[in-house]
A and B are shown apart, each in its own frame.
Chain A
Amino acid sequence: MAAAEARVLMQVRLQIERSDPASGETRLQLFELELRREATLLDCLEQIKDELDGTLAFRRSCREGICGSCAVRIDGRTALACRTPMAELVAGGRIPVIAPIGNLAVVRDLVVEMEPMWQKMRAVEPFLRPTSEPPGDGRETVVPPARLEAVRKEALCINCGACVSECDAMAVSPEFLGPHALAKAWRLVGDPREEENAPRLKGLSGEHGIWECTRCYLCNERCPKGVDPRDAIAKLGAEAFAAGVTRDRGARHASWFVTSARTTGWLRESELVVKTLGIAVSVTKIPLALRLFRRGKAPLPLPRHKARELEPARELRRIVAGQDRRGARGIVQGERVLARIELVRAPEQSLPEAEDF
């Protein structure tokens, strides 16, 4: 029966990246031990610390995916140790490698310095500034339930740092605010109780802000709570446009995509550079452009790159405009989100067949 099976043991082997805080040297250490078959990676780390090596350092508390302490990299992929069944990691005799999360300095073993992440969170001033007066009756502000849905996912964030660990943009631009802080920013920008968002959006659209995201989607992919930080960044971008905050290069870059698709149905890459960077900076890119043209890596600016049929692209644009999906409400990002939107459709509304797309 179940409880008896719970005590069946399994043999596991794993390698843990250890580091010496004094010298900064790192090495991989192999551990071999017997675990209960339902043990998680966190249980495994606990058992190593209790029985094999008391010097192993890692953070942990809730052991159920709520406190956000125990994010680690498992064979390169970030996950919560407490949500990772050991049996899956060692299936087929695999020896997983457990390492500290990325993009943050290692303090010791699996413990990283979280302070840069908190600094960025503080930088987005992560607290509500209600724009209306408190209700005269001293009770709650009345808010239509649907309006709060806009920030539901972002409010699930447990600050584990998995998104930061995986962020490609932070790897090359450490000052990028990053998916964690920006998801928090959307939690506030999207809250209907704070209505004057232009100043926040202006701040978030500057250097190292929302447009620095490279849209690799790894934050969405790895977030253990389904926060989908990349979607939050997209919503911030859309709201920035809606609020007329469009001066940043990133915003200009995005605008040009739309203009280009509308006018010729294709992306006109050489014009994109000028529209994004401005003429003065673009001039400095001419040698690079010439090399690209010569190798056939970029189309020549003339004749204009034009789609054979322009109408489908324009039709798509009309549909979206007709649905009044401006700003964050119009954002549909990534297949996982699409799947979720399909799910919440009213049941009587039959889904279109795949061929329709």
Chain B
Amino acid sequence: MYGLEDVESSHDVLVIGAGCAGMRAAIEAHDAGAEVALVSKLHPTRSHSGAARGGINAALGNAGADSPDEHAADTVKGSDYLGDQDAIELFCAEAPGDIYQLERWGALFDRDAEGRLAQRPFGAAGTPRTIHAADVTGHVLLQLLYEQLLARGIRVYEEYFAWRLVLDDGGCQGVLAWDLARGGVRALAAKAVILATGGSGRVYKGSSNAHACTADGMAMALRAGLPLEDLEFVQFHPTTLFPSGLLVTEAVRGEGGYLLNSGGERFMRHYAPEAMELASRDVVSRAEQTEIDEGRSLGGSLLLDMRHFGREKMLERFHGTRDLALTYARIDPLERPIPVRPGAHYHMGGVATDIDGRTEIENVFAAGEVACVSLHGANRLGGNSLMETIVFGRRAGRAAAEQALGKSGSPELKPSERSDGEREIATLLERREGERPKAIRDQLGASMHENFGVFREEAKMRRQLELLDDLRERYQQVLVEDKGEVWNSDLTQALELGFQLDLAVCMVSAGLERRESRGAHSRPGDYPERDDQNFLKHSLVRWADDWVDLSWKPVRITKWQPRRRAY
């Protein structure tokens, strides 16, 4: 814990969020000669990057011929042609070098028989390209980057909840953060700020994301006037455990698990008679949602049946899945099928950036899930998001350092900014009557599933915007019961809910205007086809007068012209 003299502090580069992207950015900014600090509401190794299991993609060519170009082609196609191809090409070209550097730092990747980095096949990749560390790749990288942070003595403001970017005419002056451990508003000044706060999955009730994934950075950027890009694109994973949203590995379907509806029917025969349960993520998610919508579910869940695997296969190959079902559903999959449903998994959209993490505000950068480069376009490929945190974390760190080092003097936050922040917190803490966050949060989560889930349609999205208007109204009287200073997570959770509500409005607004079906944005009822004529472009959402201003920007195409996306 740090002393009180640090209540006011200033840095060259301040990174908000300490997952893989944030730590990689901080390391690079440090190595580029800048003085760096991280601000994180969690200790760095508690970050959600640690939940990434499968791996990280780079065209090393260790398990068959491969090239950055093939990696790029797969990514472009996976994105349903919405990814910016210059960013994708650069990403795929730089990924191998980053992998070798991680290995040099000590990453514990799995090896092939020759002792080289092993690569496994992954969805929609033409060749085995995914480097991995058993099924804990994200965990291993998160620990590794923390080690490298310690090796450099980079400072972390741990359990500081950043909630506001401070701006003036000259750009961003720093951030305001609530110090969880001791209580109190801390003003942290910086010459450059990098947002690396991760995703927004908790906007949905059923999400594979950690409790901490509450769209903090996206909402802070939005409130600072920055545009958010392609927010309508949310990837749903077809097998998240009901109701917790915990991920059930795709390998269960890969090894022959059945999906059943309430009538005990293998319903995939109606949607993908050939591939059945092995169809791609989006196809299975849509099939499940159709079953749910048409009343053939069990209170909103389908069943994943593994009983026919038998004891031996279950214990040998699916020990972890059985453990998950026993612990979190109290069901032994040897005896009964487990309840699953499509759950929000990854947000393709985020703060609009260029290939160096730059945003519209000169000294504000973003990297990782919070950002939209756009690498994933309308649909992300498995294994690309961990790689994104490294490549674009590094690039944002380098660019932010260069910019900070070009500025003289020492940044300072005006005392009035801090007192503004203190007033905002005081208003929340002093309120004696109002509504507890739970009902608002639950309603937000459930209604986003209902009205902005796997399928979207005009009427439901309009209904959702009305509902969000109402929820945001109720949020004005949200009641923080804890009035204390020390470890007041009741306060920070209320602030998180505010972020989520703002973001949800932007997501639905963008979805309403995208009158086509592309990647994860599916409108079978009113606009079932992709429409390159009108919508081969990125949506941009800004906050204007407490509501949404929507505009578009073109997709950057280098050499892959849009074609029908079929596998």
Contact = CB atoms under 8 A, between A and B. Distances in A.
A4 B139 contact: no
Interface in A108-157: 108-109, 111, 113-115, 118, 121-122, 125-128, 130, 134, 138-145, 148, 151-152, 155-157
A127 B46 contact: no
A108 B487 contact: yes
A115 B51 CA distance: 24
Given A2-B336, A21-B487, A130 B140 contact: no
Contacts of A140: 99-100, 103-104, 116-117
A156 B135 CA distance: 11
A134 B100 CA distance: 10
A185 to B, nearest CB: 12
A283 interface: no
Query: Which residue, of B60, B106, B301, B490, has the highest number of chain A Cβ atoms within 10 A?
Result: B106
A64 B103 contact: no
Query: Which residue, of A49, A54, A69, A85, has the highest number of chain B Cβ atoms within 10 A?
Result: A54
A63 interface: yes
A220 interface: no
A95 interface: no
A276 B134 CA distance: 43
Contacts of A114: 43
Contacts of B445: none
Query: Which residue, of B148, B211, B303, has the highest number of chain A Cβ atoms within 10 A?
Result: B211
A144 B115 contact: yes
B299 A142 contact: no
Interface string B425-444: 00000000000111000000
Interface string A50-71: 1101110111111110111100
A62 B210 contact: yes
B411 interface: no
Interface string A1-41: 11110110000000000000100000000000000111010
A273 interface: no
B244 A63 contact: yes
Interface string A84-97: 01010000000000
B113 A122 contact: no
Nearest to B247: A64
Nearest to B488: A57
Interface string B92-128: 0000010110011110101111111100000000000
A66 B50 contact: yes
B299 A54 contact: no
| Chain B binding surface SS class | loop
A155 B142 CA distance: 11
A158 interface: yes
Given A63-B210, A64-B51, A127 B150 contact: yes
A87 to B, nearest CB: 7
A159 interface: yes
B46 A57 contact: no
Contacts of A267: none
B90 interface: no
Given A38-B330, A158-B45, A158-B139, A3 B484 contact: no
B63 to A, nearest CB: 13
Interface in B296-320: 297-301, 303
A354 B227 CA distance: 70
A278 B113 CA distance: 50
Contacts of B47: 67
B150 A142 contact: no
A134 B48 contact: no
Interface residues of A, number: 68
A212 interface: no
A66 B139 contact: yes
A69 B108 contact: no
Nearest to B99: A140
Contacts of A166: none
Nearest to A62: B210
A21 B483 CA distance: 13
A61 B116 contact: no
Nearest to B52: A66
B274 to A, nearest CB: 28
Given A63-B211, A69-B42, A126 B330 contact: no
B193 interface: no
A153 to B, nearest CB: 11
A239 interface: no
B112 A145 contact: yes
Contact of A143 (B111, B139, B140, B143): B111
B446 to A, nearest CB: 14
A77 interface: no
Interface string B467-498: 00000000000001110101111100000000
Interface in B206-243: 210-212, 242-243
A7 B299 contact: yes
A49 B298 contact: no
B43 to A, nearest CB: 7
A200 interface: no
A23 B499 CA distance: 34
B43 A155 contact: no
B299 A145 contact: no
B279 interface: no
A269 to B, nearest CB: 42
30 contacts: A2-B298, A2-B338, A2-B339, A3-B339, A6-B242, A7-B299, A21-B484, A37-B330, A51-B436, A61-B211, A62-B50, A62-B51, A67-B51, A69-B42, A85-B330, A109-B487, A125-B150, A127-B106, A127-B147, A127-B148, A130-B106, A134-B104, A138-B100, A140-B99, A140-B103, A140-B116, A143-B115, A148-B108, A158-B45, A188-B106
Given A108-B487, A138-B100, 6 more contacts: A3-B301, A57-B482, A59-B46, A61-B42, A139-B116, A151-B108
Interface of A: 1-4, 6-7, 21, 36-38, 40, 49-51, 53-55, 57-64, 66-69, 83, 85, 87, 107-109, 111, 113-115, 118, 121-122, 125-128, 130, 134, 138-145, 148, 151-152, 155-159, 188, 191, 193-194
Give the 5 A-B CB pairs with smallest separation, nearest first. Answer: A54-B481, A128-B106, A3-B298, A127-B151, A145-B111
Interface of B: 1, 42-43, 45-48, 50-51, 60, 97, 99-100, 103-106, 108, 110-117, 133-134, 136, 139-140, 143, 147-148, 150-151, 181, 210-212, 242-244, 246, 262, 297-301, 303, 324, 327-331, 336-339, 436-438, 480-482, 484, 486-490
